[in-house]
Amino acid sequence: MKKALLIAALTAPFLTGCVIAVSDGEADTHWAGSSSSWQQQHKNNREVISNLALDTSYQTVLNKLNTPNFTELLKQGDDVYQVLFYATHSIHSDGKMTKDECTPLVFKNDKLIGVGDTIYKSLSNG
C-alpha cells in the first residue's frame, strides 16, 4: 500500500497539464492552456484567407487551404462560379460546422474574385 502511494506521489508531477481524451477508439492529447485543434484550424484558415490576392487560381487556394467544409458550383451564361467555404469562426457550440461559421471564397472561371458574404450574396442577386 505504501509502495503504491509512493509511486503515485512520484509520478503525479509528470502527469499535470496533460489531458488524454479517448473517443471512438482514438486518443488525442492536449496540453492544458493550448488551443484545441478546431480553434487552431479556424485561425490558420483566417490567416491564409487574409493573405490571398484577387485572381489567385482555384487550384492554388486548394493547395493552401486543402479541402473546404462546403462547396457550391454555379454556371451563369458562359461563366462558371465556384464557392469554397472554409471554417473561420464558431457561432454554435453544437460541435457541427455550418455555412454561417465559414468564410466563402468566390471564384469566376477558376480565378478568385472575392472573399466574404458580400460577394457571395451578390451571386444570387446578380
Q: Give 2-18 pLDDT, tens digit per residue.
A: 565 545 445 555 544 44
Evaluate whether 104 touches 119 at the Cβ level (below 8 Å): yes
Distance CA 88, CA 27 (A): 25
What pLDDT is recorded for position 66? Answer: 94
- Binning pLDDT at 50, 70 and 90, where does residue 60 land? very high
pLDDT of residue 30 exceeding 80: no
- CATH number of domain containing 66: 3.30.1450.10
The answer to the question of residue 11 being in a domain is: no
Domain count, the chain: 1
Residue 3 lies in a domain: no
User: Is 22 part of a structural domain of the chain?
Assistant: no
Q: How many helices (H) and strands (E) does the chain have?
A: 4, 6
Nearest to 107 by CA among 68, 73, 66: 73
Q: Is residue 39 part of a domain?
A: no
- Domain of residue 101: give its range: 54-125
Which grid cell is 25? 477508439
